[in-house]
Amino acid sequence: MTEPFTILRGKAVPLLRDNIDTDTISPGSAVPREGRGTTFSEHGSTSLADDLFGNWRYGPAGEPLPDFPLNQPRYQGASILLTGANFGCGSSRESAVWMLAAWGIRCVVAPSFAEIFAANCYANGLLPLPCSADTVSRLAAEAEGAAPGFVVDLARCELSISSGTTIAFPISAYRRRGLLAGLDDIELSLESRHEIASFVARERESRPWIYPYETSIRD
Residues between 105 and 164 that touch other proteins (CB under 8 A): 111-112, 114-116, 119-120, 123-124, 133, 136-137
Interface with other proteins, residue 47, by CB under 8 A: no
| Among 96, 86, 153, residue whose Cα is nearest residue 123 | 96
Q: Name residues contacting other proteins, limited to 179-198 (CB under 8 A).
A: 185-186, 189-190, 192-193, 195-196
Contact residues for 108 (Cβ-Cβ < 8 A; gap 6+):
80, 81, 83, 87, 88, 100, 121, 126, 127, 128, 129
Of 77 and 185, which has the nearer Cβ to other proteins?
A: 185
| Among 90, 88, 89, 125, residue whose Cα is nearest residue 105 | 125
Q: Name residues contacting other proteins, limited to 71-110 (CB under 8 A).
A: 83-86, 89-94, 97
Of 35 and 207, which has the nearer Cβ to other proteins?
A: 207
Among 11, 19, 148, 167, binds other proteins (CB under 8 A): 19
Partner residues linked to 86 by β-bridges? none
Among 34, 66, 173, 205, binds other proteins (CB under 8 A): 173
Distance (Å, whole) CA 78 – CA 149: 10
Contact residues for 144 (Cβ-Cβ < 8 A; gap 6+):
14
- Binding footprint of other proteins, residue count (CB under 8 A): 72
Interface with other proteins, residue 35, by CB under 8 A: no
Q: What letter represents residue 185's amino acid?
A: D
| Among 147, 159, 165, 124, residue whose Cα is nearest residue 7 | 159
Query: HEC string of 28-86?
Result: CCCCCECCECCCCCCCCCCCHHHHCCHHHHECCCCCECCCCHHHCHHHCCCCEEEECCC
Of 79 and 95, which has the nearer Cβ to other proteins?
A: 95
Among 8, 12, 13, 30, binds other proteins (CB under 8 A): 30
| Least Å from the CB of residue 9 to other proteins | 26
Interface with other proteins, residue 166, by CB under 8 A: no
Among 66, 73, 145, 212, binds other proteins (CB under 8 A): 212
Question: Backbone phi, then psi, for 27, in 5-degree steps?
Answer: -60, 135
Of 63 and 203, which has the nearer Cβ to other proteins?
A: 203
Of 116 and 151, which has the nearer Cβ to other proteins?
A: 116
